[in-house]
Structure 1
Amino acid sequence: MSRRVSLPAADDLFRPTAPAPPDEPRAAEEPPTEQQREPKKPSGRVRHDEKMTVYVTSDELLDLEHARLVLRRSHGLAVDRGRLVREAIAMVLADFEAHGDDSALVRRLTEE
């Protein structure tokens, strides 16, 4: 009897598990208007497939950690720094989508 273990092929390991999304809306369907779209929500506590590295100063990291600890102590919310950053990004992008040129993001980026 052979002691070799049979492993699945790469095609089996990296196959799509969900149907591919349609490329374009069907001719009979109208794309949703801005008012019909639901606001985007942050992904929360799920396994994330994409990674982005962001460099911050030590003061920014301390501020982030302080906010995380205050959320835990004062509000009973045990969140990690990644979730805190994703929530902040979702808030900023929602404000930008809703207010465009008048958004806090545009104001802060043009203050320099």
Structure 2
Amino acid sequence: MVSVAVVGLGLAVVGFAGRQVLRAAPHVAKKMSDVLNTMSLESSLSKYHKGGFEPTMSKREASLVLDVSPNAPKNKIREAHRRIMLINHPDKGGSPYIATKINEAKDLLDKK
């Protein structure tokens, strides 16, 4: 008889706790949303450029790709190109598209 009462009391506690969790769920969801918005704000302050590539590469975009000044000397451009290509080369698992963009950036900045 005592075990039936204990089981009943346990079920009541579980039910009450579940009800409280469901009542708190909207507040928890709002808090999570606020945290995620804060995280996205922090990621937008990153030193990396956010967004894709332009249809035709500009001098600004080329300097962002190689992480050099638009007026950098040729030797700095070549060093930056080499450093980035060693990391992103398709033979080492890099993307052929990214490698093409890196080469395009070097060619554009090297022309001047």
Q: By the TM > 0.5 criterion, same fold?
A: no
Q: Could you tell me the TM-score, scaled by structure 2's length?
A: 0.34
Q: Could you tell me the TM-score, scaled by structure 1's length?
A: 0.34
Relative contact order (alpha carbons < 8 A, sep ≥ 6): 1 or 2 greater?
2
Q: Over alpha carbons, which structure has the higher Rg? A: 2
